[in-house]
Every structure is written in structure tokens, then in C-alpha cells.
Structure 1
Amino acid sequence: MTDTNSIGLHEGSASQLAEKLNHLLANYQIFYMNVRGYHWNVRGSDFFELHVKFEEYYTDLLTKVDEVAERILTLGHKPVHAYSDYIKLSNIQEEKDVHDGKTCVKGVLKGYQTLIELQRELLALASDADDEGTASQAGDYIREQEKTIWMLNAYLSK
């Protein structure tokens, strides 16, 4: 009997990674819903610009939700899928009734900063476990989101 899973990772490491990925998944789901809310409810002189930008963000976040869940399954574990679990696990808090454009953008910025922090932790854990698949996924997300943070900060400095 072996202590590795079907993709050759040590089962203990795969379990730790799946737990960290489920934490990340919860944060993605809550952040996704926040950005959806910003898209629906933003008002003001930047409405047209922000409405389109928030749709771009939530579309990308939804893709990443699916990719993170599928990575958990690839590791041989189950992704959490109840919003009650997401609320318990997420560092990102639900945003309600936010409609001011600048406040919405600050919420997006804070959400991406939280995701990057979690993904850096995941990247370190994946590297220690020789899990190139998870490390690559986390690294790709970090790179994209760092650029987004730069752009959001540039927007807020206007």
C-alpha cells in the first residue's frame, strides 16, 4: 500500500493542500458575490466604466472558482460547496448595499489583496509538497492579480 494519491503526491500533503484550497475557494466565492453586487449596484459618474470593469472581474473570478474546485478534486478531495461553509471559512466579508464607485473599487482592491496573501501561503505549501500543478495555478493567479492591484491603485489615485 502506498501513501501517495493518484497524481503521485503524498496523501498528507494533498490533504493539507485541499484544506488550503477550500479556504481559498470560500474567499473566491464571497469575493465573487461582492463584485457581482458592485456590478449591479454601482452608481455615479463612473457607472458605465465601473459596471463593465466589475463584470470583467466577476467573470474571471467565476472561472477561478471552478478551477480551484477542480484542483481540489484533482488532489483527491472534495470542494466545499455550501455558502454557509464559505461564510465560515472566508477572510473576505460579505459586502451589502455598496453603491459608491470609489467604495466598490476599494472593496475590489481589498479582496484581491486578501486572495494574493492566501495564494502566497498556498504557493509555499505546494512548493514544499512538490505539487507543481497547484504551485503553477497559484503563481499564475498572483501574477495576474498583482497587475490588477496596480491598476486599481492607479484608478484610486485620480
Structure 2
Amino acid sequence: MTRLDHRLTSAAVGVCAVAMSVLGVGAAAAAPTPVPPPNLKPAPVPPHRTPNAIDGFTGQTYESVAVIGGTIPGGQKLVVAFGPRGRIGLNAGCNQHAGTASMAGDQLRIGQLVSTMMACPGPRAGADRWLASFTSVPLTWRAAGPVLILSSPRQTVILIRR
């Protein structure tokens, strides 16, 4: 090895040593780990809210104009009212029902409903049973303009926005 080669090799080793200390590589060049102040707390993260298609129906009320595959007992109309935060109100001609609902894809899922407890006379007495049966399964929904179509495996209800 010539004297010039020796100097270049020594310089290269020196440059590598400086680079390693700047980058924190090697035991001799390791910097102490920073310690956060004792009162430092992470910022709160707001809960993530998944958009729900039902939000687009908020404030809208629909009334049935046809039932395919059966009838509502008592010949009454189904009224569906969408409230804020996934709230839903329903009436099939007897008691008022309220609960929550969500939409995912083409499915409308209506949660457990609470209702008034009026005794309805005659054929309207079966309206609440019909409503409970209709909403007990996920409904397929479609909307176009003022028309909303709700379908269960056995019946389809066509509703018009009021």
C-alpha cells in the first residue's frame, strides 16, 4: 500500500466514523433517549363515524301507495319517517313505532322498536303484527326521486315521499 492509498483509506474511515456518529449508529455514538415531560398527554382522538346511507333520508317521511304480495291489515297505509342519527318512526294504521335503523348497501336494518299501546278495533288490530313481521328481517331498499321501495322476502311496499 502506498502512502497515498493509506491516507485515502484513513480519510474514508474518518468520514464513516463521523457519519455513523451523526446517524446514531454504533454503541459509542448512541445519543440518550429523550424523555417526555411528565405532564405530557396525547391529544384525544375523536371517534370515527362511518357514514350511513340513512343520513341522506333525515327529515323525510314516506307513505305507502301499494303493497305487493299482501295487504296491511285494516287497509291502512304504512308511514315511514326518518329522523336524525338513524332514528326511524313507523305506523301501519294502529300504534306509533320508533327505533333506530341503518343502511348498508341495499339493506335497511330496523332495530328493536318501541310503540304506543293503543287497542285498535277490528281489522286494524293486526297492523302491528304485520309491521313487526315486515321489519323483522333486513329489507332491501331502492329509492328514485320521491319513490322509496322496501322489500322483504315475502312483500314489497312502494312508498311516496310526502
TM-score computed with the length of structure 2 as normaliser: 0.22
**Taking CA–CA contacts closer than 8 Å with sequence separation of 6 or more, which of the two structures ends up with the larger relative contact order?**
1
Rg larger in 1 or in 2?
A: 2
- TM-score by length of structure 1 reads 0.23
Q: Judging by fraction of residues, say which structure has more strand.
A: 2
Bigger helix fraction: 1
